[in-house]
Each structure stands twice: as C-alpha cells, then as structure tokens.
Amino acid sequence: MNINLTLFAQALMFAGFIWVIATKIWPPLSSAIEERQKKIADGLAAADRARQELADADARVADEIRKARVDASQITDKAHQQAVQIVDKAKQDAIAEAARQRAAAEAEIANLSSKAKEVLRSQVANLAVKGAEKILGREIDGARHRELLDQVAGEI
C-alpha cells in the first residue's frame, strides 16, 4: 500500500467527514446552541427585570409604610386635638353651669333675705305698734293708720 494513496484517501475521508458535519450536524447544533443562548439571555433578562421589580415593590412598600405612619400620626394628632377640645368644652360647660348655679343660689339667697327682712319688718312694726299701745294705753287701729305703719316699716 502506498502511503500517498492512504494519505489521500484519509484526506478525502476527512474532507467528507467535515462536509457532512458542516452541512448536516453543524446547522442543527448551531441553532440549538443559539436557541439555548437565547433562553439563557432571556432568563437573565427576566431575572434582572424581576430584581428591578422587587426593588420597585420594596420602594413602594416603604413609601406606603411611610404614608401610613404619617396618616396614623395625623389621626392621633387629630384625636388628641378633639380630646383637648372636648375637655375644654367640658370645662367651659362646667364653669358656665357653676356660674348659673351660683347666680341661682345668690338669687335665692337674695330672695330669702328679702323675705326675712320683710318678715322682720312686719314683726318690728307689730312690736312697735304694741309698744305704742302700751305707752299710749289705747288700741291703735291698723286699717286707719296703715300709711303711718307702712312708713315706719319702710324706715326699719
């Protein structure tokens, strides 16, 4: 066997093998590799999008929590203000009620004092009349001397 012929046959077989690989095996293998690369790239892009969406969601959650805290603070401040207003109104009502009761008590005291003075005047007038009767030794007619008795009661 001739080495040249063997070498030529092997080179021809190798060229045929390369042609078969280049035309029949390489295109599907290359498309499968490209498809796999595309899937990996899509997966990485999806992971990046998911990571970004997670960061955005975290930011939105933090913002909502901050808003909720602000709202809660406003609500508690408003409740505190309402409580202060209710307490102030209750104090004002209590002061007004105390003043009203005091005025009513003062009016009642004045009324009772006036009545007591009137009764006292009447009693003093009666005593004065009885004393005058004893001094004069005769009875004084209250109906005839009403004006004089009213004047004496007014002076007392």
pLDDT tens digit sequence for 11-20 = 999 999 999 9
Residue 156 in contact with residue 121, Cβ under 8 Å? yes
- Res 70: pLDDT: 95
pTM of the complete model:
0.44
Distance CA 8, CA 11 (A): 5
Task: Output the CA torsion sign for 67, 69, 74, 79.
Answer: positive
Lookup: tokens for 150: 């009213």
Lookup: tokens for 137: 């030794």
